[in-house]
Structure 1
Amino acid sequence: MTALLLTLFFVLLVAGAPVAVCLGLSAGTVIVTQGLPVSVLAQRGLNALDSSPLIAVPLFILAAALLNATGVTTHLFDLVRMVLGRIRGAVAQVSILVSLIFSGISGAALADIGALGKIQIDQMTRQGYRPEFAAGLTVAAATIGPIFPPSIPIIIYASVANVSAVQLLLAGIVPALLLTLFLMIQVAIIARVRSLPRDTIAAAPRDIARKTVISIPALLAPVLLIGGLMSGYFGPTEVAGVTVAYAAFIGVFIYRSLTWRGLIEALRDTTLATANILFVVSTAALFAWVLTLDQVPMKVSALLLRLTENPLILLLLVNILLLAVGMILESIAAILIIAPIIAPALTTAGVDPLQLGIVFVLNLMIGLLTPPVGMSLYMITIITKMPVTRVIAGVMPFFLPLLLSLLMVSAVPALSTWLPALLMK
């Protein structure tokens, strides 16, 4: 059964079918050929969507779309440029910091690229940065988004692996800050070696103060979100709803830049993105159910535990597996398929579920930068109209901080577990 399922899946994938179609069609074919009830298709697909944490997904997408429609990204970019001043490579450092700030709103790498990509790349190329470097840094910095809360992949992982979504979101804060630090160190080294341009902006303290006041409502959005999670009064779904209301409020009453047209476009983009994600969730659940029916999770768990019971070695093996999976599978589909198979074995071996969740998501976010299915690469090529080979060349130097962050999060459980333990006492 499993051999037929995987064969059909990879044949469809090589043929160029969308991932959701590959998952659903291969699972549906196996169910029919094995004489199982066809009603299982609808039943398992709908059951996968009957999850309260998943309600947060469209809400966070809508919040990011509303804030982007108000021009928040431009205010944030200008403010950080003013604060950093005329250091060498300043605009590149600004791109990283703004990605961190905006990640506290969007929760998705592709959302960060869509909202910030053109602004970041235009600013860097205008000041003399090579287009390849600008594109590579933009896609590398976008990996911060799915690690820092709110994170759509983390919410989906939590729903699949039966882990507290609130604790897992909080577990991503320190790794995201670590990743930001490593990227900034890498840019500082490159700035020194290649003599990257200095920023041309010149701002008086009064200008910085004025821009800070303008940006405060936008800066408060991540504070509101994280504060709500830490307080224990809100779960991910409630925080998502509050964030949407806050985004609409500042767009209409404070910035006064959210128009009816902008609202309709935000709703349309949210509907399309949500439909794509939930279609993958539904078909991947069906695919995973067929694997479970053939006892694949139990067999894989037994195999891993026969190899070693050392948690660190198991995590390193999983890292290798997930980096390879990330090259061929879309991240959400990979979470839905692989997590139910891998998670039981590693938690049995003593790996903390929060650490495993962050390692899992970080691996797959790195996969967004690797061909042939690296969605971030293809999205940035659409924005820049640059051949994907040039984008890959620009990304290569930034694999070092990404992989170093992954190695540290894998080797040091406290990076993921310390903050949730401290805040959730």
Structure 2
Amino acid sequence: MTAAVLFGSFAFFLLLSVPIGIALGLATLFSIVYSGSLPVEFLAQGLVTSVDSFPLMAVPFFILAGEIMGKGGVSDRLFRVANAIVGNKTGGFAIATIITCMFFAAISGSAPATVAAIGGIMIPAMVRQGYDKRFATATVAAAGSLGVIIPPSIPMVIYGVTGSTSIGDLFIAGIVPGIIVALGLIAYAYIHSKKNGYKGMNEKTTLKGIGKALWEAKWAMLIPVIILGGIYGGIFTPTEAAVIAVVYGLFAGVIFYKELKIRDLPKVFGDAALTTATVLIIVGTATAFGRLLTIEQIPNQVASFMISISENPIVIILLITVLLLIVGCFMDTLAAIIILTPILLPIATQLGYDPIHFGIIMIVNLAIGFITPPLGVNLFVGSGISGLSIEALSKAVIPYFIAMLITLFIIIFLPQISLYLLEFKQ
């Protein structure tokens, strides 16, 4: 009965449009009071102990790094590189947008931050080039999801902490799947552009042009090399890498590109602090919610139920996929990872799935949730930039949803895609 109160009250608060972090906390509190088996202090303790983690310190620093680089001229120079390579091809601007999102994803670790940083530049630019505004906005919203798939990724940090797996290994494992998802998005962008006659620019692709763009973007291009190279090379931890990203981002924006002014820093720090506070509230309340689930033995019950349906690993992983796709429509990604990892990871490992591979499956699944209503955070960010309604944008993003779904199944059934690069770490 406690489980019914927990999920029932949580659903009730979501229907009232209570922010998800607060809804999780209130649902946990109501269930504690109802059961009477735990002290009310359980919630407060969960809020404190859940964020008392060295690996979790990477989250606020990556958020701050993304804010700094988004306003420091980094995203504009990354686009110039992508445009120099593919700008003259059919659908060149759309493809360049997706590639730019890939580059920025290797910096920010956040899907909404990627949409905000790239969309503000690319949506107006694509419309000026003759692209339909719905297609342009849908392209940025879908490609923004790469922000949580391509490392460094904030959800990967959360999954690593929750599932007691190596965050560095998750970062390595996310590279190829991120590229696969990006290629799926590029394939649809090309097909749609070919069908609608979206030509590239008249300028030819030349080594001189690419070299010039790379030279102008050298400080931006070095960021993922330093962050990921340092982690993979064992020079520093993901948390230390996040701090380095902040420091380097300040140098790049203030000194190298001179587009981030000292007077802008208070707002940048303030925006990062607000985002961090929101994220950590969700982490804290979701952790308490998850611990209450464990006490009530709900993970064991869910595992037993799924295995009672079928012992076929393919059937079970498809059930998990459907569950995650549905959850992604209604729940914040970080909260979903914290709550569902203790439930689903034991099932996956029992079926023979590697914890790292399953983590990538889970994150790609939930990344699709960034473009599925009613939550669809990327849709709201894209709508705010372009002025389109959520309804119109939701329809325009459907083909990208299908493309991401196809790449998800490729990642699920070909574990080598996630685990191949880890072989070189041995």
Q: Please say whether Structure 1 and Structure 2 have the same fold, judged by a TM-score greater than 0.5.
A: yes
Deviation at 1:198, TM superposition (A): 2.3
Map 1:114-263 → 2, pairs under 5 A: 114-199=116-201, 206=208, 208-263=210-265
Could you give the per-residue CA deviations for residues 130-188 of structure 1, whole angstroms, max 9, x where no partner exists?
Answer: 11100111111111110111000111111111111110111100000111111111122
Matched with 2:388 is 386
Once residues 22 and 320 of structure 1 are traced to their aligned partners in structure 2, the CA distance between those partners, rounded to angstroms, is 24
Q: Indicate if the aligned counterparts of 1:147 and 1:362 stay in contact, CA closer than 8 A.
A: yes
Once residues 379 and 211 of structure 1 are traced to their aligned partners in structure 2, the CA distance between those partners, rounded to angstroms, is 28
Could you give the per-residue CA deviations for residues 57-97 of structure 1, whole angstroms, max 9, x where no partner exists?
Answer: 11111111111221111112123212224222110010010
Amino acid at match of 1:26: A
Once residues 17 and 107 of structure 2 are traced to their aligned partners in structure 1, the CA distance between those partners, rounded to angstroms, is 33
Once residues 199 and 389 of structure 2 are traced to their aligned partners in structure 1, the CA distance between those partners, rounded to angstroms, is 24
Q: Indicate if the aligned counterparts of 1:121 and 1:134 stay in contact, CA closer than 8 A.
A: yes
Once residues 128 and 153 of structure 1 are traced to their aligned partners in structure 2, the CA distance between those partners, rounded to angstroms, is 36
1:305 aligns with 2:311: no
More displaced stretch, 268-277 vs 204-213: 204-213
Structure 1 spans left out of the alignment, 5+ residues: none
Amino acid at match of 2:156: I
Once residues 200 and 283 of structure 1 are traced to their aligned partners in structure 2, the CA distance between those partners, rounded to angstroms, is 53
Matched with 2:331 is 329
Once residues 197 and 159 of structure 2 are traced to their aligned partners in structure 1, the CA distance between those partners, rounded to angstroms, is 42
Q: Indicate if the aligned counterparts of 2:170 and 2:356 stay in contact, CA closer than 8 A.
A: yes
Amino acid at match of 1:181: L
SS in 1 for 2:397: helix
Q: Indicate if the aligned counterparts of 1:305 and 1:349 stay in contact, CA closer than 8 A.
A: no
**TM-score (norm: length of structure 2):** 0.96
Map 1:47-126 → 2, pairs under 5 A: 47-126=49-128
Once residues 422 and 125 of structure 2 are traced to their aligned partners in structure 1, the CA distance between those partners, rounded to angstroms, is 37
Could you give the per-residue CA deviations for residues 111-141 of structure 1, whole angstroms, max 9, x where no partner exists?
Answer: 0011111211111100111111001111111
Once residues 258 and 115 of structure 1 are traced to their aligned partners in structure 2, the CA distance between those partners, rounded to angstroms, is 14
Deviation at 1:313, TM superposition (A): 2.5
Amino acid at match of 1:16: S
Deviation at 1:231, TM superposition (A): 0.5
Q: Indicate if the aligned counterparts of 2:86 and 2:205 stay in contact, CA closer than 8 A.
A: no
Matched with 1:354 is 356
Deviation at 1:201, TM superposition (A): 5.3
Matched with 1:315 is 317
Once residues 205 and 288 of structure 1 are traced to their aligned partners in structure 2, the CA distance between those partners, rounded to angstroms, is 53
Q: Indicate if the aligned counterparts of 2:286 and 2:335 stay in contact, CA closer than 8 A.
A: yes
SS in 2 for 1:368: helix
Deviation at 1:257, TM superposition (A): 2.7
Percent identity (aligned): 36
Q: Indicate if the aligned counterparts of 1:56 and 1:240 stay in contact, CA closer than 8 A.
A: yes
Q: Indicate if the aligned counterparts of 2:141 and 2:379 stay in contact, CA closer than 8 A.
A: yes
Deviation at 1:421, TM superposition (A): 2.6
Matched with 1:296 is 298
SS in 2 for 1:211: helix
Could you give the per-residue CA deviations for residues 282-310 of structure 1, whole angstroms, max 9, x where no partner exists?
Answer: 11111111111110011112222333333
Amino acid at match of 1:68: G
Q: Indicate if the aligned counterparts of 1:91 and 1:124 stay in contact, CA closer than 8 A.
A: yes
Map 1:337-348 → 2, pairs under 5 A: 337-348=339-350
Deviation at 1:197, TM superposition (A): 3.0
Matched with 1:9 is 10
Deviation at 1:17, TM superposition (A): 0.8
Q: Indicate if the aligned counterparts of 2:87 and 2:93 stay in contact, CA closer than 8 A.
A: no
Once residues 225 and 181 of structure 1 are traced to their aligned partners in structure 2, the CA distance between those partners, rounded to angstroms, is 23
Q: Indicate if the aligned counterparts of 1:316 and 1:410 stay in contact, CA closer than 8 A.
A: no
Deviation at 1:34, TM superposition (A): 2.0
Amino acid at match of 2:364: L
Once residues 420 and 51 of structure 1 are traced to their aligned partners in structure 2, the CA distance between those partners, rounded to angstroms, is 25
Q: 1:263 to 1:357 in 2, by over 3 A?
A: same
Alignment length (residue pairs): 424
Q: Indicate if the aligned counterparts of 2:105 and 2:150 stay in contact, CA closer than 8 A.
A: yes
Once residues 116 and 239 of structure 2 are traced to their aligned partners in structure 1, the CA distance between those partners, rounded to angstroms, is 24
* Structure 1 residue runs of 4 or more that deviate by more than 6 Å after TM superposition: none
Once residues 128 and 212 of structure 2 are traced to their aligned partners in structure 1, the CA distance between those partners, rounded to angstroms, is 25
Deviation at 1:204, TM superposition (A): 7.0
More displaced stretch, 110-119 vs 182-191: 182-191
Q: 1:251 to 1:7 in 2, by over 3 A?
A: same
Amino acid at match of 2:201: D
Deviation at 1:394, TM superposition (A): 1.4
Once residues 167 and 290 of structure 1 are traced to their aligned partners in structure 2, the CA distance between those partners, rounded to angstroms, is 29
Map 1:370-385 → 2, pairs under 5 A: 370-385=372-387
SS in 1 for 2:119: helix
SS in 2 for 1:145: helix
More displaced stretch, 204-213 vs 91-100: 204-213
SS in 1 for 2:135: helix
Q: Indicate if the aligned counterparts of 1:103 and 1:144 stay in contact, CA closer than 8 A.
A: yes
Q: Indicate if the aligned counterparts of 2:87 and 2:96 stay in contact, CA closer than 8 A.
A: no
Once residues 85 and 158 of structure 1 are traced to their aligned partners in structure 2, the CA distance between those partners, rounded to angstroms, is 38
Q: 1:148 to 1:39 in 2, by over 3 A?
A: same
Once residues 359 and 205 of structure 2 are traced to their aligned partners in structure 1, the CA distance between those partners, rounded to angstroms, is 42
